[in-house]
Structure 1
Amino acid sequence: MATDTDDRAYYVISDLHIGGDEQLEEVEFLDELLDFLERLETIDEDAELIINGDAFGLWEFTTIEGVEKFDVLEETYPELFEQFRATGENVDITLLPGNHDHELAAYDEYVDRFAAYNVDLVQDQSITRSIGEQAIHFEHGHQQDANNRIEDWGNPHATPLGYYYNTLVTSRAGKLSDRGRYNWLKDVQAVTPTERMPVWLFSKYFYREMNPVLRYSLVPFLLLFNVSAILAVLAGLDMAGVWAMPVDRTEAFLGQFGRAGTAAWFFLALNVTVAGLLLLVGIPLYFIRRDVRKTVDRFGVFETELTVDPDEPYENAAREVFTEQPETTIFCYGHTHRPTIREIDGGVLVNTGTWLKRLHRRDGIIGILPPVFYPSYQLGAVRIAAESAGVAVEYERIAKPSPATEELTRTERFFTVGREPDPDPPDRLVVENEAETPSPKTTA
Structure 2
Amino acid sequence: MTTQADGEAHPGADDRVYYVISDLHIGGDEQLEDIEFREELLTFLESLEETDEDTELVINGDAFGLWELTELDGPAKFDALVETYPTVFEQLRATGETVTITLVPGNHDHELAAYDTYVDRFAAYNVDLVQTESITRPLAGREIHFEHGHQRDPNNRIDDWGNPYDRPLGYYYNTHVTSTAGQLSDRGRFNWLKDIQAVTPTEWMPLWVLSKYVYREMHPLLRYALVPFLLLFNVTALLAILVGLDVAGVYAMPTDAVQGFLGQFGRPGTVAYLVLAVNVTLAGILLLVAVPLYFIQQDIKRTIDRFGLFDGDVTVDAAKPYETAARELAAERPETAVFCYGHTHRPDVTEVDGVCLVNSGTWLKRLHRRDGVTGLLPPVFYPSYQLAAVRIDADTDGIAVEFQPIEKPNPAPEELTLTERLLTLGRKPDPDLPDRHVVDLDRSEPKSSVPGETTGTGPEPVSEQQE
Q: State the TM-score, normalized to the length of structure 2.
A: 0.89
Letter in 1 for 2:384: S
Displacement, 1:35? Answer: 0.2
Q: Secondary structure at the match of 1:130?
A: strand
Displacement, 1:340? Answer: 0.6
**Cα pair 1:195 1:304 within 8 Å, conserved:** no
Match of 1:441 in 2: 447
Displacement, 1:239? Answer: 8.1
In 2, the alpha carbon distance for the partners of 1:288 and 1:357 equals: 37
Letter in 1 for 2:419: T
In 1, the alpha carbon distance for the partners of 2:31 and 2:289 equals: 41
Letter in 2 for 1:4: G
Match of 2:297 in 1: 289
Displacement, 1:304? Answer: 6.0
Structure 2 gaps of 5+ residues are 1-10, 451-467
**Cα pair 2:31 2:185 within 8 Å, conserved:** yes
In 2, the alpha carbon distance for the partners of 1:100 and 1:270 equals: 56
In 2, the alpha carbon distance for the partners of 1:372 and 1:388 equals: 45
Match of 2:419 in 1: 411
In 1, the alpha carbon distance for the partners of 2:271 and 2:115 equals: 71
Residue 151 (structure 2) pairs with residue 148 (structure 1): no
Displacement, 1:443? Answer: 1.1
**Cα pair 2:14 2:139 within 8 Å, conserved:** yes
Q: Secondary structure at the match of 2:181?
A: helix
**Cα pair 2:12 2:137 within 8 Å, conserved:** no
In 1, the alpha carbon distance for the partners of 2:271 and 2:185 equals: 42
In 2, the alpha carbon distance for the partners of 1:285 and 1:187 equals: 35
In the superposition, relative to structure 1, how do residues 238 and 422 fare at CA in structure 2: closer, same or farther (>3 Å)?
closer
Displacement, 1:115? Answer: 0.6
**Cα pair 2:63 2:109 within 8 Å, conserved:** yes
Residue 228 (structure 2) pairs with residue 213 (structure 1): no
Q: Secondary structure at the match of 1:342?
A: strand
Q: Secondary structure at the match of 1:127?
A: strand
Displacement, 1:174? Answer: 0.7
In 1, the alpha carbon distance for the partners of 2:228 and 2:268 equals: 17
Letter in 2 for 1:144: R
In the superposition, relative to structure 1, how do residues 273 and 65 fare at CA in structure 2: closer, same or farther (>3 Å)?
farther
Of 183-192 and 289-298, more deviation after overlay is shown by 289-298
Displacement, 1:87? Answer: 0.3
Letter in 2 for 1:132: A
In 2, the alpha carbon distance for the partners of 1:398 and 1:370 equals: 32
Residue 128 (structure 2) pairs with residue 113 (structure 1): no
In the superposition, relative to structure 1, how do residues 263 and 432 fare at CA in structure 2: closer, same or farther (>3 Å)?
same
Displacement, 1:252? Answer: 4.8
Letter in 2 for 1:384: I
Pick aligned residue for 2:307 from 290, 299, 315: 299
Deviations 1:100-138 (A, max 9, x none): 111111111111111110001101000010101110110
Residue 382 (structure 2) pairs with residue 374 (structure 1): yes
**Cα pair 2:56 2:100 within 8 Å, conserved:** yes
In 2, the alpha carbon distance for the partners of 1:69 and 1:283 equals: 55
In 2, the alpha carbon distance for the partners of 1:260 and 1:369 equals: 31
Displacement, 1:72? Answer: 0.9
Of 413-422 and 348-357, more deviation after overlay is shown by 413-422
In 1, the alpha carbon distance for the partners of 2:302 and 2:355 equals: 36
In the superposition, relative to structure 1, how do residues 263 and 24 fare at CA in structure 2: closer, same or farther (>3 Å)?
farther
**Cα pair 2:382 2:428 within 8 Å, conserved:** yes
Of 385-394 and 129-138, more deviation after overlay is shown by 385-394
Of 394-403 and 337-346, more deviation after overlay is shown by 337-346
Letter in 1 for 2:75: V
Match of 2:364 in 1: 356
Of 259-268 and 313-322, more deviation after overlay is shown by 259-268
In the superposition, relative to structure 1, how do residues 170 and 267 fare at CA in structure 2: closer, same or farther (>3 Å)?
farther
Displacement, 1:267? Answer: 5.2
Summarize the alignment of residues 123-272 of structure 1 with structure 2, pairs less than 5 Å apart.
123-235=131-243, 247=255, 250-258=258-266, 260-261=268-269, 264-265=272-273, 268-269=276-277, 271-272=279-280
In the superposition, relative to structure 1, how do residues 75 and 281 fare at CA in structure 2: closer, same or farther (>3 Å)?
farther
The number of aligned residues is 440
Letter in 2 for 1:16: L
In the superposition, relative to structure 1, how do residues 291 and 112 fare at CA in structure 2: closer, same or farther (>3 Å)?
same
Match of 2:130 in 1: 122
Q: Secondary structure at the match of 1:58?
A: coil
Residue 392 (structure 2) pairs with residue 384 (structure 1): yes
Pick aligned residue for 1:315 from 285, 305, 323: 323
Residue 352 (structure 2) pairs with residue 344 (structure 1): yes
Residue 66 (structure 2) pairs with residue 58 (structure 1): yes
Q: Secondary structure at the match of 2:67?
A: helix
Letter in 1 for 2:164: P
In the superposition, relative to structure 1, how do residues 267 and 208 fare at CA in structure 2: closer, same or farther (>3 Å)?
farther
Deviations 1:228-275 (A, max 9, x none): 223234556778999887556534532432465356446534643553
Letter in 2 for 1:369: L
Q: State the TM-score, normalized to the length of structure 1.
A: 0.93
Q: Secondary structure at the match of 2:343?
A: coil
In the superposition, relative to structure 1, how do residues 171 and 269 fare at CA in structure 2: closer, same or farther (>3 Å)?
farther
In 1, the alpha carbon distance for the partners of 2:165 and 2:354 equals: 37
Q: Secondary structure at the match of 2:165?
A: coil
In the superposition, relative to structure 1, how do residues 200 and 255 fare at CA in structure 2: closer, same or farther (>3 Å)?
same
**Cα pair 1:329 1:438 within 8 Å, conserved:** no
Letter in 2 for 1:154: G
